Amino acid sequence: MAKDKSTKEPGRLKQMWQVFQMTRRYDDRAVLYILLGAVLPIIAGVLLAVFLSGGNVFTMILWIVAGVLAGVLIALIILGRRAERAAYSQIEGQPGAVGAVLRSSLKRSWRGSEMPVAVNGKTQDAVYRATGRGGVVLISEGPATRTKRMVDEERRKVNRVLPNVPVTIITVGPDADSVPLHKVPRTLAKIKPTLTKAEVLAISNRLQSMENQMPIPKGIDPMKVRAQRAR
């Protein structure tokens, strides 16, 4: 049975056009940056074709085609980044925004959950946690003056269970020195890696056991715990 045309998913070009329209609606500078990203490589390709081809038509065509392809690629990259930023601007300041970023935008070297590890029921402020080769990162969502107590409490919990693991604090909120929501993945990526993949897995398991309120064995260095092998 043929699928109904009304329920058919839009094609790739139509999806890109929809993303462009959404981005342009919420980002006034997006069109300018996309045009510059597309036009400048084409101009560079034409100039290189004129000065470096030596009159060879085939070489000139190759330079121009290379410039066009580079322009299209750069324009798509810019569109993707500006679209992501525009999407984050729509949820910035709302409860759970940091969780949405941790769910969808973390690189493979980092693990995070959209569920916070601590929440203030009255103000909806929250603290989220991510683990990776840079250690443990606590990300507060809300004004620093309101989230400081929760962040300090979570840091004490992590230090008690994982005393040798570095803990980094990131604040996402209205404060002047806070990290914008769309820069959270980039900020995590800048943290210097100090752990191996096996250590990250062991740390994640230990933190999970802490959440489940399971007893933590005494006298064991979390940094020396080996990851369990799959059966």
Q: Which amino acid is at 54?
A: G
> Stretch 5-23: mean pLDDT, rounded?
73
Instruction: Report the range out of 84-88, 149-153, 184-188 with the highest average pLDDT.
Output: 149-153
What is the per-residue pLDDT for 204?
86
Report percent pLDDT > 70 for the chain. Answer: 87
pLDDT band at residue 35 under the 50/70/90 scheme: very high
pTM, rounded to two decimals: 0.68
> What pLDDT, in 10s, does the model give residues 208-217?
877 665 444 4
Ramachandran angles phi, psi of 110, nearest 5°: -125, 145
- Look at residue 199 and tell me whether its pLDDT is greater than 80: yes
Three-state DSSP class for residue 138:
strand
Report percent pLDDT > 90 for the chain. Answer: 42
What is the per-residue pLDDT for 130?
92
> Stretch 132-142: mean pLDDT, rounded?
93
What is the per-residue pLDDT for 14?
82
What is the per-residue pLDDT for 216?
40
159 vs 166: CA distance, rounded Å: 9
Contact indicator for 71, 65 with CB cutoff of 8 Å: no
210 vs 223: CA distance, rounded Å: 16
Average pLDDT, the chain: 84
- Look at residue 153 and tell me whether its pLDDT is greater than 90: yes
Sign of CA dihedral 192, 198, 201, 205: negative
Of the listed ranges 41-50, 53-62, 85-94, 139-148, the least confidently predicted one is 85-94
> Stretch 82-109: mean pLDDT, rounded?
82
If one compares 103 and 44, the residue with the highest pLDDT of the two is: 44
- Look at residue 108 and tell me whether its pLDDT is greater than 90: no
> Stretch 165-185: mean pLDDT, rounded?
91
Ramachandran angles phi, psi of 55, nearest 5°: 85, 0
229 vs 231: CA distance, rounded Å: 6
If one compares 87 and 133, the residue with the highest pLDDT of the two is: 133
What is the per-residue pLDDT for 37?
94
What is the per-residue pLDDT for 168?
94
